[in-house]
Structure 1
Amino acid sequence: MPSPDGTLHAITANRLRDGVVVFLGAAGAWVESFADAALLTEAEATTALAAAKAQAERDQFGVDLYAFEVESENGAALPVKMRERIRTLGPSVRLDLGKQAAA
């Protein structure tokens, strides 16, 4: 459910083991695909981010955990800022690499 202003958020991190960009999924597990990321209201994202940071530190799982804004475009969730759009797809200089290569 979106925030009162309609904004949704997702949570991302880099996995320590291999540096892969991951997203917090609906079940609280980390997923590699943005399509599987949980979309949260701002309040939900704040609570989930605090818990995820604490757990990631205990498990030495990930770094650079943060929430980012997501918008709906043509019925699909899409990060608002270019930084997160690139993180969801992979390198922007070679479309044959990263997650966009599999699409």
Structure 2
Amino acid sequence: MAAVKRPPLPVILIANDLLEGDVVFAAAEGWTRDPREALVAADEAAAQALERFGATEFLHAKVVDPYLVDVTVSDDGAPTPRHYREVLRTLGPSVRRDLGKQADFEI
């Protein structure tokens, strides 16, 4: 069997809330809409644990499309996605900067 291709470490788990459609991040207490509260997996075991959590939440119809995203971690521990697509997902709708997550967070 071929090895699973994963993004480089460190990573976070990102998904969409099934009922509301919002982008959510795996956190210490389930899911959060705040990317600064996302759990960061710095090693393979932690990344696998995040993947298992995402698969379980998908099976229980909590989220859709959970996947790992490679991030950089700032000095204060906040993760920032390395790729533009996920950076946009952390900000919310991009048509109005005064609405959505970008109005609440300085990212």
TM range (shorter): 0.7 to 0.9
Tell me which stretches of 4 or more aligned residues in structure 1 moved more than 6 Å: none
The aligned residue for residue 31 of structure 2 is: 30
Task: Note the residue ranges of structure 1 that are not aligned, 5 or more in a row.
Answer: 1-5
Distance in structure 2 (CA, Å) of the matches to 1:54 and 1:77: 23
Aligned residues: 96
Q: Report the CA distance between 1:45 and its aligned residue.
A: 1.4
Q: Report the CA distance between 1:74 and its aligned residue.
A: 6.2
The residue type equivalent to 1:16 in the other structure is: L
Instruction: Give me the CA root mean square deviation.
Output: 2.0
Distance in structure 1 (CA, Å) of the matches to 2:84 and 2:13: 15
The residue type equivalent to 1:67 in the other structure is: L
CA shift digits 1:4-39 (9 cap, x unpaired): xx9310001101111011100024x11110011001
**Which of 84, 87, 90 lines up with 1:88 in the alignment?**
90
Alpha carbons of structure 1 residues 41 and 74: separation in structure 2 relative to 1, 3 Å: closer
Task: State the percentage of identical aligned residues.
Answer: 34
TM-score by length of 2: 0.77
Q: Report the CA distance between 1:42 and its aligned residue.
A: 4.6
